[in-house]
Amino acid sequence: MSAKCVKAILAEVPRERWPRHIAIIMDGNGRWAQRRDLPRAEGHRLGVDTVRKITEECATLGIEQLTLYCLSSENWKRPQEEIDFLMHLLQQYMISERETIMENNIQVRMVGRRENIPGHVLRELDDTVSMSRRNSGMWLNLAINYGSRGEIVDAVQKIAGKIAAREIAVEEIDEDVVSAHLYTAGAEDPDLLIRTAGELRVSNFLLWQISYSEIWVTQSCWPDFDETTLHEAIADFANRKRKFGGLDD
């Protein structure tokens, strides 16, 4: 479907049916490069360009929150050369995108564990988070060194500590309490989960938060994901019936 047709379809969809929070598993950078006999690093480099395009487009469309799966806790198993390059890209992104982030009124947040991330990368990340804290526009949640099972374990440990300190009683624990102790505390659950590169799994991403998210998968690898594909995903979401366990009207 052409970009013009997709945009026309999206324009016909009532704004209240659009997703408020989009989460994306950005997959396929390495495969994109290998299919073109290029180094994997080139796929990652172009993947950063896609992050820039999609972030700006979501902000322009008025999406309230965008969560990007940047680096999973399992990705540390990759060759050290690739890890070092990914850390370099992350550091450079935090520096180079500050002007764009501020111009688009975007608030940057990190979700994930801070350990293992090099100090020089954390400093740039923290500076960008701090600089954008007062922005009132779209939340850009960057999942870095993130794993959902680890997130839930960390939340359980925090809650257990509060029980031990008698700050909370066992019978007071409910879904809201658990949510408040996750890395994503304060964020709405994603309405739409997008996965690129055709993979049909969630890869330890936001397991608690995507309980009722609509899932949309594209065969396009992340470097090929563009504004038209984003519009297509939003239009498809808007035409689905979300029952949340109930019955059709």
Whether 246 has a pLDDT exceeding 80, the answer reads no
Confidence of residue 12 (pLDDT cuts 50, 70, 90): confident
Residue 246 lies in a domain: no
Helix 227-238 and helix 40-61, axial crossing angle in degrees, nearest 10: 50
pLDDT tens-place string over residues 149-169? 999 999 999 999 999 999 999
Catalytic positions, written as ranges: 27, 75
Say if 176 falls within a structural domain: no
Number of domains in the chain: 1
Contact 205, 25 (CB under 8 A): yes
User: Does residue 249 register a pLDDT over 90?
Assistant: no
CATH code for the domain in which residue 29 is found: 3.40.1180.10
**Percent share of the chain, pLDDT over 90:** 90
Tens-digit pLDDT profile for residues 85-119 = 999 999 999 999 999 999 999 999 999 999 999 99
Q: pTM for the whole thing?
A: 0.94
In a domain, 91, yes or no: yes
Domain with 206 in it: 19-147+190-237
For 53-70, write each residue's pLDDT tens digit: 999 999 999 999 999 999
Instruction: Compute the distance between CA of residue 154 and CA of residue 205 in angstroms, rounded to an integer.
Output: 15
Q: What is the mean pLDDT of residues 130-147?
A: 98
